[in-house]
A = this chain, B = another copy of it.
Amino acid sequence: MNAQQPMLRDVKHIDWEPLMAERTKRMKSSVIRELLKLTVKPDIISFAGGLPAPEFFPVREFDEACQHILSTCGPQSLQYSTTEGHAPLREWLAESMRKYGIDVEPDNILMTNGSQQALDLIGKIFVDPGDCILTSAPTYLGALQAWNAYEASYQTIELDDEGMPVEGIPEIVKKHHPRLVYVLPNFHNPGGVTTPLARRERLVEMARKHDLILIEDDPYGELRYDGEDVTPIFRLAPERTIYLSTFSKTLAPGIRLAWIVAPKAVIAKLVQAKQGADLQTGTFVQLITHDICQRGILKSHVKKLRVVYKERRDAMLAALDKHWPSSCAWTRPQGGLFLWASVPKSVDTAELLVKATEKKVAFVPGFAFYPDEKQGRNTMRLNFSNATLEQIQEGIRRLGTVLNETL
Contact = CB atoms under 8 A, between A and B. Distances in A.
A54 to B, nearest CB: 4
Contacts of A76: 54
A140 to B, nearest CB: 12
Interface in A16-47: 16-17, 19-24, 27-30, 33, 36
B128 A16 contact: no
A77 B63 CA distance: 12
A331 interface: no
A24 B125 contact: yes
A263 B1 contact: no
A276 B148 contact: yes
B278 A113 contact: yes
A101 interface: yes
A397 to B, nearest CB: 26
Nearest to A113: B278
A149 interface: yes
Interface string A1-25: 1100111110111101101111110
A103 B278 contact: no
B213 A19 contact: yes
Interface string A241-275: 00000000000111110000001011001011101
Contacts of A51: 79-80
A282 interface: yes
Interface in A48-100: 49, 51-52, 54-55, 57, 59-60, 62-63, 66-67, 70-71, 74-83
A153 interface: no
Contact of A83 (B24, B33, B49): B33
Interface stretch (A231-239, A322-330, A356-364): A231-239
Contacts of A23: 124, 128
Q: How many copies does the complex hold?
A: 2
Nearest to A73: B59
Given A19-B126, A80-B36, A236 B179 contact: no
A372 interface: no
A104 interface: yes
Contact of A27 (B55, B253, B256, B269): B269
B105 A78 contact: no
A15 B5 CA distance: 57
Interface stretch (A114-122, A157-165, A310-318): A114-122
A275 B81 contact: no
Contacts of A145: 275-276
A142 B127 CA distance: 22
Given A12-B239, A239-B14, A21 B78 contact: no
16 contacts: A11-B239, A13-B263, A13-B265, A16-B265, A19-B179, A20-B125, A22-B128, A29-B275, A33-B275, A51-B80, A60-B70, A63-B67, A78-B254, A80-B254, A142-B276, A285-B285
